[in-house]
Each structure stands twice: as structure tokens, then as C-alpha cells.
Amino acid sequence: MGAFETEVFKSGNGAAVHLPSALGITPGTLVTIIRDGPNLTIKPVVDRGAVRRNNEALVEEIRAIWADAPFHEVAKRDEIEAPDRPGL
């Protein structure tokens, strides 16, 4: 995706920037703005609650798979006698 040029405009007591729809940022999205010298970086805020809920759902799915899986128990192997190998 290339660069977009836009103009800063007044919004209430602050300044605002129009973000083109091609960037895929929908209205209502929380963003973090980071200033590093003359550069500004805009990043969507990660909803940590949603990430936690997704992780909890994943854990529940894994538990359900294990509950239905035929491999609950580890099979016992016959003992193998190793031959004598002098010098090793």
C-alpha cells in the first residue's frame, strides 16, 4: 500500500486527519498515535480482553478435543533388552 496525502483540519479544540477507507480502519476503531520526532505512527489498539476471550475459547476447544480423543492413555511398550556392547 502506498502513501496517502491528506490535510489536517480543525475538529472541536483539536486537530484531526481524515484516514482514507483504503487503509481499512473503520469508524470507532481505537488507535494509538506515537510521535517520534517529525514522524507520527498510528496503530490500532489491541483489545486485550478480546485476545484473552479468544485464548479461553481455544483452551475450551482443546479440552473438548482431548475429551473425545481415543488416545487418553499412553500405551505401555514391551521392555527391550539391549545387547552387551563392550567398549561403548
pLDDT tens track for 45-88:
877 767 677 788 888 888 888 777 776 677 788 888 888 888 77
Amino acid, res. 68: D
Domain annotation covers residue 48: yes
Total domain count for the chain?
1
State which residues form the domain around 38: 1-70
C-beta separation of 6 from 18 below 8 A: yes
pLDDT tens track for 12-55:
999 999 888 888 888 888 888 999 999 999 888 877 767 677 78
Q: Return the C-alpha cell found at 47.
A: 483489545
Domain annotation covers residue 84: no
Nearest by Cα to 3 from 27, 33, 39: 39
Q: What is the pTM of this model?
A: 0.47
The CATH number that applies at residue 24 is 2.10.260
Torsion sign (Cα): 42, 44, 46, 47: positive
Residue reference for cell 502513501: 3
